[in-house]
Amino acid sequence: MGRQVSVKGFRIGINEDWIAQWFAPRGRFGIYLKIDHIVRDLIFKALPKGSIEKVVIQRPRNILKIVIYAAKPGLVIGSKGAQIKAIEKGLKETLVKNNFKNIKFTLDIEEVKDLETKAYVIAADIASQLEKRARFRYLIKQSMNKIERNPKVKGAKIAVAGRLDGSEMSRREHFSFGRIPLQTLRSKIDYGYIQAITKYGTIGVKVWIYTGEAFEKEKEIEIGQY
């Protein structure tokens, strides 16, 4: 039963931020949670896999502020802003359909840097290629080489499970390098999971990326003062 705890959830408040950054008044928590689910579900379905890393939702002064962290901002915005306008229109229609009228919201886009350190982006890229019938070993080795070239990365692991390359029996394969200290809370480990929908069934893709300890910079500053 080991390794059943969410890697990111385990570190929230230590070196991981919340993706829902708000406090709900009494009796409104369930409503806010449902709205968050509707917003994220629509955005992730409207955009290609791997184009966004996460969607952060804030509620300053009764306004729903939606921040899309985009790995590929061009795909999110679209030609002359067509894609982002379509998302705005879809959000308005979906919220009204679910009886959430008069909700004011804003859409902001933040570009994600160091894509090799973002586990979900890597996992989504592998999944999209698997859906195009690419060989899983080639994909994983290619992704590993890309991750390893980033000097910030100190360890990574990629695992895939399912009917790989159309085999009759499902199996699990994993590739890794460096170290991934899952039980050390100060370790900065990004985790991403996604399913690839292929002709032979679903293939699960999991990625762990370790980029060092969260308090290493603080230690360096303290040592430098003496």
pLDDT in tens, 16-33: 899 999 999 898 999 999
pTM here is 0.87
Cα 115 to Cα 36, 125, 146, 159, distances in angstroms: 25, 11, 10, 18
| Distance, CA of 123 to CA of 53 (rounded, Å) | 10
Cβ atoms of 139 and 123 within 8 Å: the answer is no
Domains of the chain: residue spans and CATH: 9-111 (3.30.300.20), 115-217 (3.30.1140.32)
pLDDT value, residue 2: 56
Asked whether the beta carbons of 208 and 191 are under 8 A apart, the reply is yes
Residue type, 85: K
> What's the pLDDT band for 224 if we cut at 50, 70, 90?
very low
Residue 1: half-sphere exposure toward Cβ, Cα within 13 Å: 0
**Stretch among 6-10, 83-87, 126-130, 171-175 having the lowest mean pLDDT:** 6-10
Query: For all residues of the chain together, what is the average pLDDT?
Result: 90
pLDDT of residue 14: 86
**Torsional class of 48: left (φ above 0), alpha (ψ -120 to 50), beta (otherwise):** beta
Interatomic CA distance for residues 95 and 48, integer angstroms: 22
For residues 158 and 141, what is the distance between their CA atoms, to the nearest angstrom? 10
Band of pLDDT at residue 219, cut at 50, 70 and 90: very low
Q: How many CB atoms lie within 10 A of CB 20?
A: 14
pLDDT classification of 217: cutoffs 50, 70, 90:
low
Instruction: Please say if the pLDDT value at position 220 is more than 90.
Output: no
Query: For residue 221, is pLDDT > 80?
Result: no
Q: What is the torsional sign of CA 44, 51, 146, 134?
A: positive
Give the pLDDT mean for 111-138: 94
Instruction: State the average pLDDT over residues 149-169.
Output: 94
> Residue 110 pLDDT more than 80?
yes
Looking at residues 53-61, what average pLDDT do you find?
Answer: 93
102 pLDDT band (50/70/90 cuts)?
confident
Within its chain, how far is the Cα of 39 from the centroid? 15
Q: Mean pLDDT across the stretch 150-166?
A: 94
46 vs 9, 40, 69, 88, 117, CA distance in Å?
Answer: 26, 10, 15, 11, 24
Residue 181, pLDDT > 70, answer yes
Q: What is the pLDDT of residue 223?
A: 45
